Amino acid sequence: MIRPRVIPALLLRGQGLVKTVKFKEPKYLGDPINIVRIFNDKEVDELVLLDITATPEKRGPQFDLLKNIAGEAFIPLAYGGGIRSMDDVKKLLSIGIEKLIMNTSAMETPSLVREVADHAGSQAAVVSMDVKKGFLGKYEVFTHCGQKKTGLDPVKHAVEMEKMGAGEIIINSIDRDGTMQGYDVELVRKVADSVQVPVVACGGAGNLSHVSEVIKQGHASAAAAGSIFVFQGPLRGVLISYPTPKELKEFI
């Protein structure tokens, strides 16, 4: 039987990988090809790769770099950042990326989600949303890497995206990003209970108990995390790690 997936989420900024806190203070981790190779050797369940400056810089994916990365990764690979057309999608599929993550573009052109699902199957059409909790405890979806308010409720957006053919939804909490204080379990549960498709929780993991919590109490099908897989110790020294199959079995 399967166990829920545990997914390192890596942020691409220019040609390097970084880790942010609340979508700010990007700290340089290293060369993406090297780091992906290490994660590949550690036999991770899946990798999520997000180019966090593509949309703000109004550019598309860095195809050459992604091609080199995909050549090193014999694992399910999801990519997001600047995917705006079916041309982009077809290029990404042909270089070995099988999950296309749409965030800003899913909001601006929801028909792209449908087109991706029709072309490559709904498992390839992944919608990611960045969510912030307001003063009154109300959740709101942000686009453009957390820079732009949309006024949209995450549950409503998720249901809409599922209707458009999204096969998976990533919920990223801006407030929890890089804090290592635990996932926003309430947010994840609200969305996971409203859709049939798998929901991936992201933002806030500080240890494997957090991962277990968001799966058991947040009803997430998978948990993505950054800091715990790239940092070591209180000084946040860069060290790539991933739990062994035995550790994963124990916790999840």
Partner 1 sequence: MIVVVDYGVGNLGSIVNMFKKVGAKAVASSDPAVIKDAEKLILPGVGAFDAAMRKFHETGLVPVVGELVLEKKIPVLGLCVGLQLMTKGSEEGREAGLGWFDAETIRFKFDDENAHLKVPHMGWNEAHIVREHPLVADWDPESRFYFVHSFHVVAKETDAVLAETDYGVKIHSILGRGNIMGTQFHPEKSHRFGMRLLKNFAENIR
Would you count residue 75 as binding partner 1 (CB under 8 A)?
Answer: yes
Instruction: Give the other-Cβ count within 10 Å of 121's Cβ.
Output: 12
| Residue 205 or 220 having the CB closest to partner 1 | 220
Per-position x/- string for 192-231, each x denoting binding to partner 1 as judged by CB under 8 A, each - no binding: ----x-x----------------------xx---------
Give the total of residues touching partner 1 (CB under 8 A). Answer: 35
Q: Of 173, 164, 89, which is closest to residue 78 (Cα–Cα)?
A: 89
Q: Which of 130, 153, 175, 193 is catalytic?
A: 130
Measured CA angle at 10 (ends 182, 150), to 5 deg = 70
| Residue 117 or 180 having the CB closest to partner 1 | 117
Q: Which two tokens stand for residue 70?
A: 């995909």
Q: What does residue 103 show for φ and ψ, rounded to 5 degrees?
A: -125, -85
Stretch that binds partner 1, among 37-45, 134-142, 181-189, 201-209 (CB under 8 A): 37-45
Judge whether 51 and 26 are in contact, CB under 8 Å.
no
Give the separation between CA 46 and CA 150, rounded to whole angstroms.
30
Q: 3-class DSSP state for residue 117?
A: helix
- Catalytic-residue membership of 130: yes
Within 8 A by CB and 6+ apart from 69, the residues are 32, 33, 36, 49, 77
| Residue 23 or 39 having the CB closest to partner 1 | 39
Selected from 122, 128, 143, 172, the binder of partner 1 by CB under 8 A is: 122
Stretch that binds partner 1, among 16-24, 57-65, 95-103, 176-184 (CB under 8 A): 95-103
Q: Of 205, 201, 246, 207, which is closest to residue 221 (Cα–Cα)?
A: 201
Give the shortest CB-31-to-partner 1 separation in angstroms: 19
Q: Which residues are catalytic?
A: 130
Interacting residue ranges for partner 1, rule: CB under 8 A: 1-5, 40, 43, 45-46, 70-71, 74-77, 93-98, 118-124, 167-168, 196, 198, 221-222, 245
